Structure 1
């Protein structure tokens, strides 16, 4: 077994006295785990950071064996771990991806989207520059794993205009007219989730509320719900930053 190519580091776990088990997302081969000899050394610790992009090579004699992984740094995002908002975003994105994706299944669109939102966090002057991308990434992950929302038409009237809400039960859009009298039971649908473009903070938080509901219900139930604590920390920091 041999896999080689760029990968985004999702998690690192100490193994033995000096080594580390690294899980990383590749574009063509999905999430791959590997043992990095000396992964806790001064040389490799700066490379083995969540959200860094590496060039990795996984080698194993059998499919059942944990591969040995060698790494070279391609793009570091280590400095972002010193910025509270950016660090929270990196923690959540990598934890979410690691918890949600099955091993060794290719999700090229997820890889490209994750790479894009991590890049936006690295260059954006403020959180509003990447927060919409983070919400869209969550929405894409839901869709790629079979829990996509239907925001194309009203689930009641099939109208395609004036869509203002999402049903928390079905994940389908609801037009404002059809929602009359039931608004309190529905999730407000911000325009940027359907039309793209920038968004103001109230709309961003509405988007986070939608994706957060379906992530918790469909993608991260039971034992995997532990990773949602990272999302809660991120949302609280975003709220404090814009208060």
Structure 2
């Protein structure tokens, strides 16, 4: 059994002397683990968020297998070393993928979404909003996508401002007004990519995605939301970027 593909590094841990167990996320193969020999040489390559070209091989499909070749394509993590907040965002994104996706199942749209996010991270004013879109894409990939296309009450497609925490469906400002105390705010940029990004919109988007990630993904597995995400929101908040 074997395959070759480009993949995003999710992390690595030591395995005995001179070996690592690495985990990557490939467009065509999903989340895979494998043994890497020559740990000292490979460790700089296996920084979470880096793009690598890998081959995975095993005698039987159910075995852990090993990675060879393992070649660096884009050192995304290294390029963000001077931007601690972006590096925290990168860490949070790969941690969510690692925690939420089942092994060896392809999610090509999610892979494309995280690549768009990673490539946008040098642009300080852009990526936090893209990050929240990535989280909604993760929800959708896990089978829990929200319906933000039309109002669940009136069927209207314009003026959407709320989301039901029960159904994950949107509502217009007028239709949701009587229940505003229990509804989640819907940031305009999540519906209209051309909408002006205002103060508080990214915070609302984080709250929306986080509510459903926690209840529909992580609570179902008996796990809490990864700390990496909390640290990201804290850092963005301290920097006034929510």
TM-score normalised by the chain length of structure 2: 0.93
Asked if residue 136 in structure 1 is aligned to residue 133 in structure 2, the reply is yes
> Match of 2:108?
108
Q: Runs of 4 or more off by more than 6 Å in structure 1? A: none
Partners of 2:57 and 2:67 within 8 A in 1:
yes
Residues 33-78 of structure 1, C-alpha deviations (whole Å, 9 max, x = no match): 1100122x0x221101000000001111111221111210000023
Between stretches 99-108 and 82-91, larger displacement belongs to 82-91
Deviation (angstroms), 1:19: 1.1
Residues 170-195 of structure 1, C-alpha deviations (whole Å, 9 max, x = no match): 11101111112211211111111011
Partners of 1:46 and 1:78 within 8 A in 2:
no
Aligned match of 1:212 in 199, 210, 213?
210
Deviation (angstroms), 1:81: 4.0
Deviation (angstroms), 1:16: 1.2
Q: Secondary structure at the match of 1:195?
A: coil
Q: Secondary structure at the match of 2:200?
A: helix
Partners of 1:99 and 1:224 within 8 A in 2:
no
1:77-226 paired onto structure 2 within 5 Å: 77-79=76-78, 80-121=80-121, 123-124=122-123, 126=124, 128-197=125-194, 199-221=197-219, 222-226=221-225
Instruction: Show structure 1 runs of 5+ residues with no match.
Output: none
Deviation (angstroms), 1:158: 1.9
Q: Judging changes above 3 Å, is the alpha-carbon distance between structure 1 residues 25 and 85 closer, same or farther for their aligned structure 2 residues?
A: same
Give the number of equivalent residue pairs: 237
Residues 143-176 of structure 1, C-alpha deviations (whole Å, 9 max, x = no match): 1111000111111222222211011111110111
Partners of 1:33 and 1:67 within 8 A in 2:
yes
Q: Secondary structure at the match of 1:184?
A: coil
Instruction: Show structure 2 runs of 5+ residues with no match.
Output: none
Between stretches 95-104 and 216-225, larger displacement belongs to 216-225
How far, CA to CA, are the matches of 2:22 and 2:230 in structure 1? 25
